[in-house]
Amino acid sequence: MIPLPTLYYFLCYAWNRLPEPAVLQASESAPFAMPLALLAQVLLHGTRRLLRTGLPRTFQAQEAELANLRGRVELAPSLGRGLLGQGRAVCTFDELGVDSALHRLLAHTLSALAHAADVPAPLRRELRQVRQRFPVGAGPEAAPTAASFRELRRQRPDSAARFLAHVCELVWQVALPEPAADGRRRFTDFRRDEGLMARIFEQFVRNFYRREQRRYRVYTETITWQAEAAAPADLALLPTMLTDTTLEAPERKIILDTKYYAAALRPRYNQQRLIAPHLYQLYAYLQNQRPAPGQALEGILLYPTGPGPTNAPAVDLRYTLGGHPVRVVTLNLHQPWAGIAADLLRLVE
């Protein structure tokens, strides 16, 4: 299981936010057993800073029956209610205020965490106190949906607000639909969700290289199949090849695929072997690439590892496949952060 301090670094890099020393200090002074408490601490710190600067005021769409016309008159409802004869009309207009989708989301998430069984009692008290600093009534009754978060992203919040929205989204992704018998909210340990952790691990590695080195341009790349077909339309049926991370410099190009699996090797016929589909996928990426003249092309398969129930061994294997260097390597997530960062940088030296 990934340690919580490492998980915090994962989330920060995955969501394009540098780790906050205050959060790290708070986590070290009161270590948490569950990741939900870490998310609560991160949200608490970010929300307090937002409140210190004052909740930003935004324009929100309003609809009301008015005697003095304002904004746009809605004829259909005004006529349907017989308001025009009374000198009134239904109007829609924008009003400046502190009520916004982000503020409602923060208030609702703080309330949910303040009633979570996995959050320590002192932290729950702090969550309630911060929640009370929001305008009365902030926070919808129903849990936010995926559509709610998509709409919030379309509003293009700044980096700090976007990070807080990511934290809230993760909280609601792992919330169970029904509360416990005592009425407390229940949440799963998302470190056990391999699909979710695989996405976070991929984003973490890609954004780490974007921030921490200057040699390579870092991006995701759609690779075109070097294929021909009698009917050109048949080419559209080929699966898409999208890299997790491509690192490119004039003299070197690296296709780096992250795999969040318990081990890089699997037993087969009483012998440990590499996971075949992972190697086939990377090989296909390399064989369909057209590097620039003088540019060396190579591939890396990166797996996490560390002490745990599987006792997965560390791996560092090097091959030449189809004329290209290929490395299969594990990253120890149970070492201090400085060691993790150094290992990642050494990987692309």
pLDDT tens-digit readout, 264-287: 888 888 888 999 999 999 999 999
Higher per-residue pLDDT: 304 or 93: 304
Residue 61's pLDDT band (cuts 50, 70, 90): confident
d(CA 207, CA 221): 15
Q: Which long-range contacts (CB under 8 A, 24 or more apart) does 157-160 make?
A: 157/102, 159/16, 159/17, 160/17, 160/46, 160/49, 160/50
Contact 297, 253 (CB under 8 A): yes
Contacts of 106 (CB under 8 A, 6+ apart): 43, 47, 50, 134, 164, 168
- Whether residue 30 is predicted with pLDDT greater than 90 in this model: the reply is no
Contact 288, 226 (CB under 8 A): yes
Residue 111 DSSP label: H
Residue 56's pLDDT band (cuts 50, 70, 90): low
d(CA 32, CA 120): 8
pLDDT at 102: 83
Instruction: Tell me the per-residue pLDDT of 155-211, one tens digit each, with 9 for 90 and over.
Output: 788 888 899 999 999 999 988 877 766 667 788 888 888 899 999 999 999 999 999
Give strand pairing partners of 320: 325
pTM for the whole structure: 0.82
d(CA 133, CA 103): 11
Query: Quick one: 199 exposed, middle or buried, by C-beta within 10 A (0-12, 13-18, 19+)?
Result: middle
Instruction: Tell me the per-residue pLDDT of 206-225, one tens digit each, with 9 for 90 and over.
Output: 999 999 999 999 999 999 99
Contacts of 237 (CB under 8 A, 6+ apart): none
- Whether residue 254 is predicted with pLDDT greater than 80 in this model: the reply is yes
DSSP β-ladder status, 252-258 and 296-305: parallel
Q: Which of 127, 128, 134, 171 is nearest to 149 (CA)?
A: 171
Can you tell me the mean pLDDT for 106-135?
A: 90
Residue 302's pLDDT band (cuts 50, 70, 90): very high
d(CA 46, CA 180): 28
Residue 31's pLDDT band (cuts 50, 70, 90): low
What does residue 317 show for φ and ψ, rounded to 5 degrees? -115, 145
pLDDT at 325: 97
pLDDT at 137: 57
- Whether residue 18 is predicted with pLDDT greater than 90 in this model: the reply is no
- Whether residue 244 is predicted with pLDDT greater than 70 in this model: the reply is yes
Give the gyration radius of the chain's Cα atoms: 26
| Structure tokens, 256 | 């780096």
Residue 160 DSSP label: H
Residue 310's pLDDT band (cuts 50, 70, 90): very low
Higher per-residue pLDDT: 317 or 57: 317
pLDDT at 152: 83
| Structure tokens, 266 | 């699997």
d(CA 288, CA 324): 12
d(CA 296, CA 292): 8
